Amino acid sequence: MRLITYQSETGPRIAAAGDGGYVDLNQADSALPTAMKTLLQMGVEGLKQAQAAITDGSPLDQQPSKLMAPVPDPQKVICIGLNYADHAAESGSPIPEEPVIFNKFPTAVRGHGDAIVLPKLSDQVDYEAELVVIIGKQGRHIPREQAFAHVAGYACGHDVSGRDWQLGKPGGQWLMGKSFDSFAPLGPELVTCDEVGDPGQLGIQLRLNGETMQDSNTKQLIFPVDQLVAYISGVCTLKPGDVIFTGTPPGVGFARQPKVLLKPGDVVEVEIERIGVLRNETVAE
Ligand code: MN
């Protein structure tokens, strides 16, 4: 199933792709909610009901023109650093022996088509294409062999990074450089696990103004999805709608000679096999 959150006249609502277009889930079945996090909280049963609603319901007369992030309001945005060996090398960092974990504030989340706002306070904004895991079922201390039962699906993610703030501020914290408003585009859809298959076999690319800057495969991940879910849940409870950015392959702008930095009017596309294309344009603050 391919699920979206879209902006309607009355606010955010959720829909699923059917043969004739998107079907609004709550319109098709009033027992279904209008928010993605609430749907995910219903567990496998909620997704089954949503599947039935696509079959029984009719597509929206007016197809959504404005998408939001599939989960516009995750409680947690967890990110993995240096999770591709060749990206660690280009960053001048050793290959990590344990996952490198940081986070973004949820206020950074945006959807497909939303602007990435280049902040007045940063002049070194860089791009990073990433596979994003969306948690379905709550869990703590999730064993690796049960990890996929806690994953609802996947989306394309863009870990926009202010390198001057990530690397040049006291204390070595990445949080602020990763958390400017609009620095976490996500989408366009939540694609459920059954449609994606093995998340460790997906081509992943980033195009900047049509030119391919990153081109890899998630089989290069040092720490795969199930290991990350197990590792993170050892520390904190993973909740429905939480998202995990799994790290970026090589080819980022600040590691290039000369450096490539985002400038107003750039169009950035993150494409992941079987998941989709997330497209955002940059604007100056
Ligand atoms: Mn990243």
pLDDT digits (tens, 9 = 90+) for 137-178: 999 999 999 999 999 999 999 999 999 999 999 998 999 999
The boundaries of the domain holding residue 43 are 2-56
Provide mean pLDDT across the span 115-135. 98
pLDDT at residue 62 in the model? 92
Do the domain assignments include residue 62?
no
Residue at 66 is within a domain: no
pLDDT number for residue 87: 85
Q: How far is the CA of 262 from the centre of ligand 1 (A)?
A: 16
Torsion angles phi and psi, residue 154, rounded to 5:
-140, 160
Q: Which of 63-72, 87-96, 122-131, 227-236 has the lowest mean pLDDT?
A: 87-96
Ligand 1 centroid–CA 53 distance in Å is 36
Q: Which of the four pLDDT bands, split at 50, 70 and 90, describes residue 135?
A: very high
**Residue 71 resides in a domain:** no
Distance 13 CA to ligand 1 centre (A): 29
Please tell me whether residues 92 and 214 are part of one structural domain: yes
Position 280 scores a pLDDT of 98
Is the four-CA dihedral 77, 274, 203, 4 of positive or negative sign? negative
User: What's the gap in Å between 62 CA and the centre of ligand 1?
Assistant: 36
**73-84 mean pLDDT:** 96
Q: How far is the CA of 147 from the centre of ligand 1 (A)?
A: 22
Q: List b or e across 15-50, with b for residues whose CB sees 16 or more CB atoms inside 10 angstroms.
A: bbbbeeebbbbbbbbeebbbbbbebbbbeeebbebb
Whether 137 and 49 map to the same domain: the answer is: no
- Mean pLDDT calculated for residue range 11-19: 96
Mean model confidence pLDDT for the chain: 96
What is the domain-level CATH number for residue 94?
3.90.850.10
| Distance from residue 46's CA to the centre of ligand 1 (Å) | 31
- If asked whether residues 225 and 167 sit together in one domain, one would say yes
Nearest alpha-carbon partner for 155 in 285, 32, 274: 274
- The pLDDT value recorded for residue 212 is 98
* 203 within a domain of the structure (yes/no): yes
Contacts of 46 (CB under 8 A, 6+ apart): 32, 39, 40
Same domain (yes/no): 113, 17: no
Q: pLDDT-based confidence at 94, cuts 50/70/90?
A: confident
**Does residue 200 share a domain with residue 168?**
yes
What does the pLDDT read at residue 148? 98
187 and 154 assigned to the same domain: yes
Ligand 1 center from residue 248 Cα (angstroms): 5
Q: Are residues 24 and 162 in the same domain?
A: no
Whether residues 197 and 277 fall in one domain:
yes
| Distance from the alpha carbon of residue 182 to the mean position of ligand 1, in angstroms | 15
Distance, CA 83 to ligand 1 centroid (Å)?
8
Task: Give domain status of residue 69, yes or no.
Answer: no
According to the model, what pLDDT value does residue 72 have?
Answer: 98
Same domain, 150 and 266: yes
Kindly state whether residues 37 and 97 are assigned to the same domain.
Answer: no
What residues contact 10, with CB distance under 8 A and at least 6 apart?
none
pLDDT band at 16 (very low <50, low <70, confident <90, very high): very high
**How much of the chain, in percent, has pLDDT values that exceed 90?**
94
Q: How far is the CA of 238 from the centre of ligand 1 (A)?
A: 20
Q: How many domains does the chain have?
A: 2
Tell whether 70 is covered by a domain.
Answer: no
140 with 266, same domain?
Answer: yes
Q: How far is the CA of 194 from the centre of ligand 1 (A)?
A: 26
CA–centroid distance, residue 78 to ligand 1 (Å): 10
CA 102 to centroid of ligand 1, rounded, Å: 9
Between the CA of 137 and the centroid of ligand 1 the distance, in Å, is 24
CA of 247 to the centre of ligand 1 (A): 5
Phi and psi for 225 in degrees, rounded to 5?
-55, -50
pLDDT at 263: 98
CA–centroid distance, residue 157 to ligand 1 (Å): 9
* Per-residue pLDDT at 24: 97
The answer to whether position 68 is within a domain reads no
pLDDT of residue 90: 83
pLDDT at res. 202: 97
Residues 135 and 26 in one domain: no
Structural domain includes residue 64 = no
